[in-house]
A and B are shown apart, each in its own frame.
Chain A
């Protein structure tokens, strides 16, 4: 791992940019950390979910009476026990929210829409009784024809999931229903005019498989609801305020009735931004008057949570002989799963974002089929569309006989570039990333036999949003920091570092926690790469609040006007300023803490804000891949991820994000896929045959951190957690085409598919000879 690249500004900092041990580290390596399934309450029941054995069926009748009669069964719930919801879609974080759809996903209503769709839940004294109870729930189904593939779902005459679904975004509105929930159009300039002046035009179609977030910790929660309706929920989630809001809405309860505590989380990657078990556990607990714990199996996780969309796409790009891209067009069809809401919107917006293009046209379709409803997954939608674009960009460069990095640099998005989706970019690090790739040792290293090298660019917006942080100055001058965005990738370490930097208090004097929903104001979830950006911004503000208060208290003690006292950021103390300089001994926060009581009481820094000014992160990755020509098996032999972090607060956790994104991207590129039989049932709902990379599949994943500071963040932070999953798909595909001479247009590039493509190419070559 390389050391932090020294940027001209890094000398401003003494803590930011260093690599201290994370505050949550010891508990995690010793097993003391408490994850979703680690809480147990006395009298606790086991909750279990009955899932649909059918792929698509009408639910004629659910009879729970026998289950309820079983000894040890304390409660049974079906969709009827929930508050009715309206079918209306609103913007929500990185995606959209429709409460009626969410309820249908939590428990099916009059139809089951995929194999494994929850249909009822029970709470019983133990798991064995719960399992028996599930078998006693009698459901009458009328099985319906199903559709799995996105192109088939769009075809005329496909079985319809919703007989009343009229495609949104089409004018005039279609008169017949279809599985197309929505159409999205993004237009910049005039692509037809652009293609007319192109010397080379390449158009290719692509398919990608849906992939699961693959968090190691399955969904888990414990709910307890008292007789007077006060509920507590302990849960593995990326956003406990979101869980609270969703549960309150689905149950029809007031928000103040529910207190949610975020457990330590074993990964989420977007998949833990929605609810599955939580409303069931709350309702079962309310009905049974006992705590209820629910934990998914891995099979449940894969069958009925996540994944992100699979797709079918066509991308067409035109360039002039001097390497200027003149037009880019894309048609993106994304699987939403059984309920509308694929990330095709961001897919459309991101597709061409790494480039400064005059003419862009992107059309997206959100398509339902009988698969689990998709959930956010790291840069939702972007890896898919950017993969297709980056594969065509690579082929264009090759056709124009241009170096792939030079070709990208020639068209690169920079400050002032107007993105096709609307805004003009501020300072961004795409060119810097490409330059760093070009200058890297990796780029110049010769390749071995059967090896190829690919590059690809990546772009993700990043988001801000509502955030609250409190910072308490304790009696002895130590500090207690409470944030509300669950720490998934080292957030607590980074927040402590920013508070320490701001207040010049040693790290070990700051204790940090993720507060529950009763301890802070509203916090949007950890997602959109926002937590270090937003909670970091709020932490710096809260720390500045403490400084201001320290000045006020010293002024009071010294009987000086506030303006006559200042914070000395060199020593981290308050001192008299101006004509009074030197008149009193400067006071550190330890001194201030001691006089807090007599100067006005406890000192608490607080910040509540809506973090604006999130800035995008761009990346360029280099992948070296070796392909066994006889088996089609691809091995990643070297990999470098280069990405703009804005500012790396804790470089190890920035690198960790880059490496994690790459590892997941490699899985997406090479082996991960949902495999369905003709019966519409998923055949690989487990980690044996749903193949995420194992450690030995990966070489050391090298990283280069670029720092083009985000001017709107006090320390220059951009989000880093998502962009890194985008480039691997195309970088690997491009490397494989160099290694084999065959262009691949379908993910995953699993050995049977690769070998078949190689054999086809070899047969074509022999025929030519």
Chain B
């Protein structure tokens, strides 16, 4: 196994493109190293991206954020501006593993590991985040929801890697939240995850909404019908119920060691309701964290 730690995106893409074996990007390694140790993967080349400055930074401009793909959960938490604007994203990333894991685990790694249960992904989708992809033919952008196409399958092509996430400015009177269900209090993988982002107008009518689910299908889902039910409403119980039902309806889960199909479908609605409520409270300017 070869190890490279390039200092530029271009060099990293070059290494990826030139490799004839199984090259892998190494970010925090909290997924990759585990997979190597347990014989799931046996890469011929590891390309460590932690020396590439652009991937390690959070930049603010015109109210939005550009978050490097190799920024860790712990670093997100230390960014006051991001925490104030998108608490749901920051909290989602900091549900990952434990304090130790959060010091290593990156947003890029969480997305590119290709798990439908990745915690930060529904929060990023709900926020309407995009990713910047670099490859041998330059750069392109895709919405986060278009990256994962199936379990461990990504829309990236040979030689491509993720450079950063572009998160829009926090909408005025907007709020976001992410909740997940796990059987314990931490150190578990989401059985269901739900991210919500909302915007209200002056009289409290919902003008914008996005709801995304994790761990209920082969990839994270953006649930358009849930958003439809919310937009135009005052987020009254009835509208929320319709959105929650839409969340359940969107699920196409499997029975597995972490939960049954029926359980996931039910809990998706429960989490949808609870997450909408937190996002709504935040849109109303109430602060406080979910955990």
Using a CB–CB distance below 8 Å, which chain A residues touch chain B? 299, 630-633, 670-671, 675, 683-684, 687-689, 691, 693-694, 696-697, 750-752, 755-756, 759
A677 closest partner in B (C-beta) = B257
User: Which residues from A are CB-within-8-Å of B181?
Assistant: 631, 633, 751
Q: How far is the CB of B184 from chain A (nearest CB, A)?
A: 5
The reply to whether B184 and A694 form a contact with Cβ atoms under 8 Å apart is: yes
User: Which residues from B are CB-within-8-Å of A631?
Assistant: 181, 267, 270
The reply to whether A691 and B184 form a contact with Cβ atoms under 8 Å apart is: yes
The reply to whether A752 and B260 form a contact with Cβ atoms under 8 Å apart is: yes
The reply to whether A675 and B266 form a contact with Cβ atoms under 8 Å apart is: no
Stretch at the interface among B57-65, B69-77, B185-193, B210-218: B185-193
Interface string of B256-279 (1 = CB under 8 A from A): 111110110011001000000000
Q: Interface residues of A: mostly helix, strand, loop or mixed?
A: loop
B38 at the interface (CB under 8 A from A): yes
The reply to whether A751 and B257 form a contact with Cβ atoms under 8 Å apart is: no
- CA–CA, A684 to B191, complex, Å? 15
List residues of B (214-270) whose CB comes within 8 Å of A's CBs: 256-260, 262-263, 266-267, 270
B81 at the interface (CB under 8 A from A): no
A687 closest partner in B (C-beta) = B187
The reply to whether B263 and A299 form a contact with Cβ atoms under 8 Å apart is: no
- CA–CA, A671 to B258, complex, Å? 11
Most A C-beta atoms less than 10 A away, residue of B184, B185, B260, B266: B184
**Known contacts A751-B183, A752-B263, A755-B266: A691-B188 contact under CB 8 Å:** yes
User: Which residues from B are CB-within-8-Å of A633?
Assistant: 181, 183
User: Which residues from A are CB-within-8-Å of B183?
Assistant: 633, 670-671, 691, 750-751
User: Which residues from B are CB-within-8-Å of A684?
Assistant: 257
Q: How far is the CB of A442 from chain B (nearest CB, A)?
A: 22
The reply to whether B263 and A756 form a contact with Cβ atoms under 8 Å apart is: yes
**Known contacts A684-B257, A689-B257: A751-B184 contact under CB 8 Å:** no
User: Which residues from A are CB-within-8-Å of B188?
Assistant: 688, 691
Residue of A630, A675, A693, A755 near B184 (CB, 8 A) is A693
User: Which residues from B are CB-within-8-Å of A752?
Assistant: 259-260, 262-263
User: Which residues from A are CB-within-8-Å of B189?
Assistant: 688-689
Known pairs A633-B181, A696-B186, A752-B262; list 10 more (Cβ under 8 Å): A631-B181, A631-B270, A671-B184, A688-B189, A691-B184, A697-B185, A751-B183, A751-B259, A752-B259, A755-B266
- CA–CA, A631 to B262, complex, Å? 11
**Known contacts A675-B257, A683-B257, A689-B258: A755-B263 contact under CB 8 Å:** yes
- CA–CA, A633 to B270, complex, Å? 12
User: Which residues from A are CB-within-8-Å of B186?
Assistant: 694, 696
Q: How far is the CB of B175 from chain A (nearest CB, A)?
A: 22
User: 3 tightest A-B contacts by CB?
Assistant: A752-B263, A696-B185, A630-B270
The reply to whether B185 and A694 form a contact with Cβ atoms under 8 Å apart is: yes
B181 closest partner in A (C-beta) = A631
The reply to whether A299 and B187 form a contact with Cβ atoms under 8 Å apart is: no
A633 closest partner in B (C-beta) = B183
- CA–CA, A691 to B189, complex, Å? 11
**22 A-B interface contacts by CB (under 8 A):** A299-B38, A631-B181, A633-B181, A671-B184, A675-B257, A683-B257, A687-B187, A688-B187, A688-B189, A689-B258, A691-B183, A691-B184, A693-B184, A694-B184, A696-B185, A750-B183, A751-B183, A752-B260, A752-B262, A752-B263, A755-B267, A756-B262
User: Which residues from B are CB-within-8-Å of A632?
Assistant: 263
- CA–CA, A378 to B175, complex, Å? 50
A299 closest partner in B (C-beta) = B38
A683 closest partner in B (C-beta) = B257
The reply to whether B263 and A751 form a contact with Cβ atoms under 8 Å apart is: yes
Q: How far is the CB of A354 from chain B (nearest CB, A)?
A: 31
- CA–CA, A633 to B260, complex, Å? 14
Q: How far is the CB of A6 from chain B (nearest CB, A)?
A: 37
Q: How far is the CB of B115 from chain A (nearest CB, A)?
A: 12
User: Which residues from A are CB-within-8-Å of B187?
Assistant: 687-688, 694
Q: How far is the CB of B203 from chain A (nearest CB, A)?
A: 31
- CA–CA, A689 to B190, complex, Å? 11
- CA–CA, A631 to B266, complex, Å? 8
- CA–CA, A265 to B188, complex, Å? 27
Most A C-beta atoms less than 10 A away, residue of B38, B183, B187, B257: B183
Q: How far is the CB of B29 from chain A (nearest CB, A)?
A: 16
User: Which residues from A are CB-within-8-Å of B257?
Assistant: 675, 683-684, 689
B189 closest partner in A (C-beta) = A688
B38 closest partner in A (C-beta) = A299
List residues of B (35-49) whose CB comes within 8 Å of A's CBs: 38
Q: How far is the CB of B40 from chain A (nearest CB, A)?
A: 12
User: Which residues from A are CB-within-8-Å of B259?
Assistant: 751-752
User: Which residues from A are CB-within-8-Å of B256?
Assistant: 683
B270 closest partner in A (C-beta) = A630
- CA–CA, A755 to B270, complex, Å? 12
B256 closest partner in A (C-beta) = A683
The reply to whether A697 and B184 form a contact with Cβ atoms under 8 Å apart is: yes
Q: How far is the CB of A220 from chain B (nearest CB, A)?
A: 17
- CA–CA, A633 to B180, complex, Å? 13
User: Which residues from B are CB-within-8-Å of A630?
Assistant: 267, 270
User: Which residues from B are CB-within-8-Å of A759?
Assistant: 266
Most A C-beta atoms less than 10 A away, residue of B191, B263, B266, B270: B263
- CA–CA, A691 to B183, complex, Å? 8
- CA–CA, A755 to B257, complex, Å? 16
- CA–CA, A759 to B187, complex, Å? 28
Q: How far is the CB of B205 from chain A (nearest CB, A)?
A: 27
Q: How far is the CB of B2 from chain A (nearest CB, A)?
A: 16
User: Which residues from B are CB-within-8-Å of A696?
Assistant: 184-186
- CA–CA, A696 to B188, complex, Å? 12
- CA–CA, A50 to B171, complex, Å? 58
- CA–CA, A299 to B258, complex, Å? 18
Q: How far is the CB of A550 from chain B (nearest CB, A)?
A: 54
Q: How far is the CB of B265 from chain A (nearest CB, A)?
A: 11
Q: How far is the CB of A688 from chain B (nearest CB, A)?
A: 7
- CA–CA, A691 to B187, complex, Å? 9
A670 closest partner in B (C-beta) = B183
- CA–CA, A198 to B105, complex, Å? 62
- CA–CA, A750 to B181, complex, Å? 12
- CA–CA, A755 to B260, complex, Å? 11
- CA–CA, A696 to B187, complex, Å? 10
Q: How far is the CB of B151 from chain A (nearest CB, A)?
A: 16
Most A C-beta atoms less than 10 A away, residue of B38, B256, B257, B260: B257
User: Which residues from B are CB-within-8-Å of A697?
Assistant: 184-185
